[in-house]
């Protein structure tokens, strides 16, 4: 298997970085190929702009998605974007390794999503969800957060974490066609002991060693909708998307 | 009223920018004070890092939230962050003006959230949701997107837009205590006629002129939870949060 880890944390010695390194070591020890994009170390530019295209189809008015398609077709995407796309295409599995900032990814990783998951190649028209361009690949969020598990129970103060992560799990990874594995969550990290952190690392190692046992989350299928994307039958349960 | 518009779009002549300008004009015509942060024009840096603090409390290991508190207390936050905080504190209403990128804000705006909504001043401990530091102020998402309204109905292919926007509406704006108004949504923008765009602008003007009639979304109240943030009574409906 070929695994690509996209990692973002502003502290190189963070626990999140330790999880990333454990993933590299565990997957390599199991015989897999692993590549890493450490976005802070790369000083990755997260800001989508006209500068992302070496030759624009329209220099007067920027429609970002149209320029993505044009630049991909004419091989004129900015080098940093093209380099990341090459790794995405290469990989069978992509792991997003990050600390939760505002129930989402840090901006530097949001910018990776904005700039690298290009229109045309990875989605477009009715090519999304189970018809997305990255169909057949798997994706995993491996995240750390300050909150505790009980805050994210059904009746917890924030409600289910998967609901907070919906635009990532479903609206991004599911949208481009990935089989999205259940997130690996390291809870309450800033407040726990070294022993508790070691337990999380051990649990993460076991999770990675048994990845094939994980069932992907369920998302809508385009086959349940007509060409205008109106539901063919009622009711379609599009709200819940956890594995059943 | 004092209104602060945080705007982000990579194209200065976009429809989203026209909406922003209409908001400036409409609010000023009604006698309100308006300030704008145009993040692309400002070349706003979205990447949270140790460079955000002119004097660190710990130079060896970065805990971002702790350094935010320290730097706010010692007046050593980076100038761009301090400038934005001053506007947040000044404002009675904050409007976030943006095109939806991946069911969320563009990375440059996510970085504004990551860096400007600092720990300590705006949230911390059990100071969040109805106890958040920005209690008493209102916030509004004014967004444009390519999708059509029927794709976001209860049985639509993406499910309710408010569910996709949950980490923003609830996890960010609600979290820091804002009264969060129902989002103003400009649907299907890249595909519609000039007349249809004008209708959206007219509707947005009327929305802004009648802001006081809008009832905020509902989020959990800390009073329903104990000091460990466990629910005091069952069931607490934490999942749905639209106005009822």
Beta bridge partners of residue B7, listed in sequence order = B38, B97
CA distance B24 to chain A (A): 23
Integer Cα distance of A21 and A16 in angstroms:
9
Question: Residue B244: its pLDDT value, please?
Answer: 34
Q: Structure tokens of A129?
A: 């969800």
Omega before residue A59 within 30° of 0, cis: no
Query: pLDDT, tens digit, for every residue of A224-238?
Result: 899 888 988 765 555
Beta bridge partners of residue B124, listed in sequence order = B127
- The chain A residue lying nearest B172, using CA atoms, is A102
Task: Give yes or no for residue A88 having a pLDDT over 80.
Answer: yes
CA distance A223 to chain B (A): 11
Q: Angle at Cα A99 formed by Cα A179 and Cα A133, nearest 5°?
A: 25
Beta bridge partners of residue A3, listed in sequence order = A34, A93
Q: Do residue B48 and residue A234 have CB atoms under 8 angstroms apart?
A: no
Task: Give yes or no for residue A113 having a pLDDT over 80.
Answer: yes
B99 vs A48, A70, A89, B180, CA distance in Å?
12, 20, 27, 18
Integer Cα distance of B45 and B80 in angstroms:
8
Q: Do residue B62 and residue A11 have CB atoms under 8 angstroms apart?
A: yes
Q: Do residue B150 and residue A47 have CB atoms under 8 angstroms apart?
A: no
Residue from the list B47, B108, B151 with its beta carbon closest to the beta carbon of A229: B151
Q: Do residue B103 and residue A11 have CB atoms under 8 angstroms apart?
A: no
CB B54 within 8 A of CB B77: yes
Size of interface A-B (CB pairs under 8 A): 191
Query: pLDDT, tens digit, for every residue of B194-218?
Result: 999 999 999 999 999 999 999 999 9
Taking CB atoms and an 8 Å cutoff, what residues of chain A touch B189?
none
| Ranges of chain B whose pLDDT falls below 50 | 239, 241-244
**Number of separate domains in chain A:** 1
The arithmetic mean of pLDDT across residues A55-67, rounded, is 97
Q: Angle at Cα B195 formed by Cα B189 and Cα B198, nearest 5°?
A: 70
Query: pLDDT, tens digit, for every residue of A116-163?
Result: 999 999 999 889 999 999 999 999 999 999 999 999 998 899 999 999
Integer Cα distance of B244 and A24 in angstroms:
48
Q: Which residues form the domain of A120?
A: 2-243
Q: How many CB atoms lie within 10 A of CB A147?
A: 20
Q: Do residue B48 and residue A107 have CB atoms under 8 angstroms apart?
A: yes
Residue from the list A47, A157, A165 with its beta carbon closest to the beta carbon of B46: A47
Integer Cα distance of B65 and B106 in angstroms:
22
Name the DSSP letter for residue A65. H
SS3 letters across chain B:
CEEEEEECCCCCCCHHHHHHHHHHHHHHHCCCEEEEEECCCCCCCCCCCHHHECCCCCCCCCCHHHHHHHHHHCCCECHHHHHHHHHHHHCCEEEEEEECECCECCHHHHHHHHHHCCECCCEECCECHHHCCCCCCEEEEEEECCCCHHHHCCCCCCCCHHHHCHHHHHHHHHCCCCEECCCEEECCHHHCCHHHHHHHHHHHHHHHHCHHHCCCCCCCCHHHECCCCCECCCCCCCCCCCCC
Q: At what angle do helices B15-29 and B194-209 cross, to 10 degrees?
A: 30
- The CATH number of the domain holding residue B120 is 3.40.50.360
Name the DSSP letter for residue A218. P
pTM: 0.96
Q: Angle at Cα B126 formed by Cα B124 and Cα B130, nearest 5°?
A: 100
Taking CB atoms and an 8 Å cutoff, what residues of chain A touch B239?
154, 159-160, 163
Mark A74-98 as b/e (b = at least 16 C-beta within 10 Å).
eebbeebbbebbebbeebebbbbbb
The arithmetic mean of pLDDT across residues A52-65, rounded, is 97
| Kind and range of the H or E run holding A35 | strand A33-38
Taking CB atoms and an 8 Å cutoff, what residues of chain B touch A225?
157
Question: Residue A234: its pLDDT value, please?
Answer: 60
CB A143 within 8 A of CB A183: yes
Integer Cα distance of A233 and A236 in angstroms:
7
Q: Structure tokens of B35?
A: 């300030």
Task: Give yes or no for residue A210 having a pLDDT over 70.
Answer: yes
Q: Do residue A157 and residue B64 have CB atoms under 8 angstroms apart?
A: no
- Percentage of chain A surpassing pLDDT 70? 95
- Tell which residue, B106, B82, B85, has the closest CA to residue B96: B106
Question: Residue B236: its pLDDT value, please?
Answer: 52
Q: Which of B9, B98, B106 to mutate to test the interface with A (most CBs of A within 10 A)?
A: B106
Taking CB atoms and an 8 Å cutoff, what residues of chain A touch B101?
48, 110, 113-114
Q: How many CA atoms lie within 13 A of B53 on its CB side?
A: 23
């Amino acid at each position: 298997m070929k695994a690509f880890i996209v990692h973002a944390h502003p502290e190189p010695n963070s626990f999140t970085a330790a999880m990333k390194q454990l993933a590299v070591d565990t997957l390599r020890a199991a015989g897999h190929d692993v590549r890493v994009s450490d976005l802070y170390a790369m000083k990755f530019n997260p800001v989508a702009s006209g500068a992302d295209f070496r030759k624009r189809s329209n220099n007067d008015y920027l429609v970002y998605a149209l320029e993505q398609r044009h630049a991909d077709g004419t091989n004129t995407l900015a080098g940093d974007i093209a380099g990341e796309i090459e790794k995405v295409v290469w990989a069978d599995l992509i792991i997003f390794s990050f600390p939760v900032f505002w129930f989402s990814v840090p901006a530097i990783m949001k910018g990776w999503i904005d700039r690298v998951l290009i229109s045309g190649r990875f989605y477009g028209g009715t090519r999304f969800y189970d018809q997305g361009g990255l169909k057949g690949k798997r994706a995993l969020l491996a995240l750390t957060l300050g909150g505790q598990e009980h805050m994210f129970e059904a009746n917890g103060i924030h409600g289910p974490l998967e609901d907070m992560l919906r635009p990532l799990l479903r609206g991004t990874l599911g949208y481009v066609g990935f089989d999205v594995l259940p997130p690996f969550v390291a809870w309450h990290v800033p407040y726990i002991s070294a022993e508790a952190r070691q337990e999380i690392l051990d649990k993460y190692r076991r999770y990675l060693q048994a990845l094939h046992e994980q069932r992907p989350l369920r998302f809508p299928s385009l086959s349940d909708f007509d060409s205008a994307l109106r539901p063919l039958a009622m009711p379609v349960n599009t709200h819940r998307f956890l594995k059943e």
